[in-house]
């Protein structure tokens, strides 16, 4: 499915499968974002007084980007969602930086996949893979 932003009816061929996949991917993005946010908020007391505004700003930007990406995935806008997930890695996760890899990997997959005609949200009946 091309990234046009149009919402397709669920009775279209392959629409239910695409909807299920997009719901799962959006849930993964939202859970990863909320995990990063929780880690950032938990680590806030250990930051210096001068660094707190920067940590708070990065947390707000990263959380907004990650949750915005989850919403964009549900409406079929995979390319901007991928960009927002890559931006979401600015969320400070301190020693748990591996959590950011979930958002980074998912963002890169969405960006690469948005250039394929039969990608993650393409029609499984016409997929060549």
- pLDDT tens column, 76-107: 888 999 999 999 999 999 989 889 999 999 99
pLDDT of 16 > 80? The answer is: no
Average pLDDT value for residue range 22-44: 94
The alpha carbon dihedral of 114, 90, 33, 61 has a sign of negative
| Contact assessment for residue 2 and residue 78, using Cβ atoms and an 8 Å cutoff | no
| Per-residue model confidence as pLDDT tens digits over 57-70 | 999 999 999 999 99
Q: Read off the pLDDT band of 117 (50, 70, 90).
A: low
């Amino acid at each position: 499915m091309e990234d046009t932003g149009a919402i397709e009816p669920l009775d279209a061929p392959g629409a239910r499968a695409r909807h299920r996949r997009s719901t799962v991917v959006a849930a993964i993005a939202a859970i990863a974002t909320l995990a990063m946010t929780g880690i950032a908020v938990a680590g806030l007391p250990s930051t210096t007084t001068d660094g707190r505004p920067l940590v708070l700003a990065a947390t707000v930007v990263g959380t907004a980007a990650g949750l915005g990406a989850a919403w964009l995935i549900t409406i079929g806008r995979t390319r901007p969602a991928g960009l927002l997930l890559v931006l979401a890695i600015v969320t400070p996760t301190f020693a748990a930086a591996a959590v950011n890899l979930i958002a980074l990997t998912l963002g890169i997959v969405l960006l690469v996949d948005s250039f394929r005609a039969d990608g993650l949200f393409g029609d499984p009946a016409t997929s060549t893979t």
